[in-house]
Structure 1
Amino acid sequence: MPWQLTWKTWAPHNIKLFHWLAHLDRCWTAERLQRRGLPHHARCLLCDQDMETMQHLMIGCGFSRQVWFDILAWLRATCRPPDHDDTLIPWWSQAKQATPKAMRRGRASMSLLIPWMVWKQRNDCVFNVAAPSINDVTAKIQDEPNLWARAGALGLRAILPST
């Protein structure tokens, strides 16, 4: 079921809420600001290629696609990264089939963490005029699951590479 990707993970509640809002297209992207006649950037601040939409930021942006590729490779995941035509829930439904049952909740949690960290990088670019950095985002994504595991998501350690 699609809701399981968001609500049945070890992700913190703020990340789950972000994904719920993103799924409902309620996040303040440039496209949403434009629809309301509010000031916005003409293109995505992460890739400077297309108009910024949630679909673009989560999986269509070249920046986020590289982050997906890097993190899935780091996790030694056998599934392909989401395609720019995918949406997160149908992609996860397909990827779940290639994931052993004991690892599914952990992989689902990571599938929420990646767009969340891309969103945070986007916000850093918008509000702090930061330069986009794939290396910074991937490093933060690699550190975060260990914090979640220490906070109680012990099953998340099953999908993390040993260091």
Structure 2
Amino acid sequence: MRLKDPVEVFLLYLMHQWMESAPDNGRKGLYQGEPKVNSQMMRAAYILKTIGFAEEDKVFNKLAVHCRRNDGHSYISKDGGWMEKPLELGGGWYFEGGTSLVQKQDILSSLTKIGYSPTFVSAADTFVAGKPVSDFFPTDEEAKLLLSQIKLQASSKNL
């Protein structure tokens, strides 16, 4: 499956850029001028942080409800004190990075609860696993259709 939503395609582009320019998997290095470790934990935090940008409380409140652990805590929370490896997402929110790949992918599956497509969740899962995400980009024909839809929406809003 390929992505068709413009926002999801943009987020996919950011994931693709990470994969193309970040340090090798498991290595420290610079990404966009900042020191990073390219790991499952950092990739999961990156996509969550990017999705929540500018609307942290709205996005992360919803995700926190769907990412509860058996002990009542949530993998996404404003209380990072209990977390083994808290990673800041912004707005005082944290993500528990000390999770397995399967747990990270389970957390990402909650993105469908806030309006993201199952195909986008698959792309995010692939990204977090450290695999290329290029197969999720629209085909040339789909991209042309997507651009015409964006132009139509922009002209109807007088942008």
> Fold-level match, TM-score > 0.5?
no
Q: Which has the larger radius of gyration?
A: 2
The structure richer in strand per residue is 2
- TM (norm. structure 1) is 0.27
The structure richer in helix per residue is 1
